[in-house]
A and B are shown apart, each in its own frame.
Chain A
Amino acid sequence: MDDGEPAPPAAQRQSKKKSMPHIPHELVEVILSHLPVESLLRFSRVCKAWRSTISLHASVKPCLLISPQTLRDGKVHSDTVILYRWEDSRQGAALPVVHATDMSSDVIMHGLAHCDGLILLPSEAAVRVLNPATRRTLTLPWSPGAEPPPPGPNVPLYHQSFGFGHDPRSNAYKVARFFYRSIYAPGSGECLYTTGMEVFTIGTDQHWRETTKDPPYPVFTRHTATFYKGSLLWSIDERVLGHKPPGFLRFSLEDEAFGVMPPPPSCYRRLYYVWCALAELRGELCLAFKGANMKTIELWMCDNTMNPQWNQRYSINAISCSPPYFNPIAVFDDEIVFKDWHFSTRRYNLKTKTYQDEFHMKDLQYHNPITGMLGYQGRRFAYFDVIPYTPSLVPI
């Protein structure tokens, strides 16, 4: 059976069975790259070479997480936030659960955010940060900014919006909360509002801290900010502002100061901020929105938020009949994964310029680890949040 050698005597056969063929370290590294983070952590004890390879984090693959949210009384609620890892190869199988957090009561979820393996779970009632790999969860303290101002006609339904990112100067992770102290929209005339921002530094702060200056522009509530190179970017709410915004509200985590990131110069007038999306793709900042003729989606790229030199990288044929919503999430190989509305995720191949089959996230199998059953009995899925995720062992 082996390569033509005569069968050795019994004693030698026994010892031959024990000695494994040598596998060179570079192939061991490939095997390690297929392992989950928990195993990698344990195997860092095997020997010095393994420890070195593992600690370089070269072995950890990025993926996508899906968080289904259900509907009750017409609002998006979650009493449990469950994160599932989306895996391309396992069609038909239930998605593996990465983490389940019991929020203790029905909460209205904001968009999730991810930074370096940490996930922000913001809701109207409570804010948590979690690292699924280390299974540590941090519940942020209550703050005055969480209290909504008195409700009124013509104003947004929610009053706050979150952001999450890494401050390179202090090497700390910060959560930011934009909130309206007051907002009032009489039937005619402009909207009157006052804003506030508070920050919580993980590992340092015991309480939320308000910024010295208030945000100079109003932003869309419940739209979690995009983090890019040390700054948080929010879309300015043009209805509340009353005129075309000068760009995106930029909040630097380093000096906790505000600025504006301008859009591409040709887009000032034609950009509808409620329908555009920002995302970090392969190290660049991507701005995506539907062109005026509604037939193409424009993807513009830049590499910094202070003085962006935008260039239009792609012009993609829009999928007809859908609302003008193209929300890029991540790039894997040469394909952009994006959400095009509440339920479906598609991939667009940049080389072949074609769309892959979309998949409706409702059609995937979700095993609810709390109830032990498949699916969410009785409750309709209202929304699926999809975020990129790269496991890490960052402590919180």
Chain B
Amino acid sequence: MAATTADGSKVVGGGEKSNVDEESKMITLFSSDGERFEVTQEAAAMSQTIHHMMEDGCVDDEGVHLPNVGSSILAMVIEYCNRHVASPDEKEDIRSFDAGFVNVEHHTLFDIIRAANYLDVKELMDLCCQTVADSIKSKSVEEIRELFGIVNDFTPEEEAEIRKENQWAFE
């Protein structure tokens, strides 16, 4: 849903005007790769990180630089925030939006989790972590290691000991 405006900056979310709208108070966010995003202050405030910066008066005319978040992921986070501030009471719509939102590959989910953690957007963190948890809860130990890129640092004896302790869980 991104539209490119005359000066090349991207505006993300529900068809808002690209000009600074006095009444809806826009704020500019810069991704790590220099892309520029205009967001309402209300949506930006869903990020506690940005919210505190706004409260502490740390946001200047230029906007907020987010060196830890790439543009593709930032676009998704902004889409989430826009949607959630737009109609917070329409639970059914939001639920189906959320379900579609997390219907992405694991590595994208991990990127969103890292971004949501950095930006401190609690609802998005919970949503994505719960999604990852639901998708991994029935996986085998080997599949978990592969997914998270983990090297097994147990000796075979140690692993056998744990298996024995927790035998009932392998029924």
- The residues of A with any CB-CB pair to B shorter than 8 Å are 1-4, 19-24, 27-28, 30-36, 38-39, 41-48, 50-51, 134-136
Q: How far is the CA of A21 from the CA of B132 in the complex (A)?
A: 14
Q: Which of A2, A3, A22, A50 contacts B32 (CB 8 A)?
A: A3
Interface of B is mostly: helix
Interchain nearest-CB distance for A275 vs B (Å): 37
The reply to whether A47 and B153 form a contact with Cβ atoms under 8 Å apart is yes
The reply to whether A20 and B113 form a contact with Cβ atoms under 8 Å apart is no
The residue of chain A having its C-beta at the shortest distance from the C-beta of B32 within the complex is A3
The reply to whether B152 and A20 form a contact with Cβ atoms under 8 Å apart is no
Task: For chain B, residues 101 to 145, give those with C-beta under 8 angstroms from any C-beta of chain A.
Answer: 106-107, 110-111, 113-114, 117, 125-126, 129-130, 132-134, 136-138, 141, 144-145
The reply to whether A31 and B141 form a contact with Cβ atoms under 8 Å apart is no
Q: How far is the CA of A136 from the CA of B171 in the complex (A)?
A: 13
Q: Which of B72, B110, B137, B154 contacts A3 (CB 8 A)?
A: B72
The residue of chain A having its C-beta at the shortest distance from the C-beta of B31 within the complex is A3
A-B contact pairs, 20 of them (CB 8 A): A2-B70, A2-B72, A3-B72, A4-B33, A20-B149, A23-B110, A23-B113, A27-B129, A30-B113, A31-B133, A31-B136, A35-B137, A39-B137, A39-B138, A43-B141, A43-B144, A44-B162, A45-B141, A45-B159, A47-B150
The reply to whether B111 and A21 form a contact with Cβ atoms under 8 Å apart is yes
The reply to whether B149 and A19 form a contact with Cβ atoms under 8 Å apart is yes
Q: How far is the CA of A135 from the CA of B151 in the complex (A)?
A: 31
A3-B33 in contact given A43-B141, A45-B162, A45-B163 (Cβ < 8 Å): yes
Q: Which of A1, A22, A51 contacts B72 (CB 8 A)?
A: A1
The residue of chain B having its C-beta at the shortest distance from the C-beta of A22 within the complex is B149
Given contacts A3-B72, A45-B163, 12 further A-B contacts (CB under 8 A): A3-B70, A19-B149, A22-B149, A31-B136, A35-B137, A38-B169, A44-B166, A45-B141, A45-B166, A46-B144, A50-B150, A135-B168
The residue of chain B having its C-beta at the shortest distance from the C-beta of A134 within the complex is B168
Q: How far is the CA of A1 from the CA of B169 in the complex (A)?
A: 42
- Asked if B147 CB lies within 8 Å of chain A CBs, one says yes
The reply to whether B145 and A47 form a contact with Cβ atoms under 8 Å apart is yes
Q: How far is the CA of A225 from the CA of B66 in the complex (A)?
A: 55
Q: Which of A2, A30, A46 contacts B141 (CB 8 A)?
A: A46
The residue of chain B having its C-beta at the shortest distance from the C-beta of A44 within the complex is B162
Interchain nearest-CB distance for A48 vs B (Å): 5
A23-B114 in contact given A31-B129, A45-B159, A46-B150 (Cβ < 8 Å): yes
**Which of the listed residues B113, B136, B166, B169 has the most CB atoms from chain A within 10 Å of its own CB?**
B169
A30-B148 in contact given A20-B107, A38-B169 (Cβ < 8 Å): no
The reply to whether A41 and B169 form a contact with Cβ atoms under 8 Å apart is yes
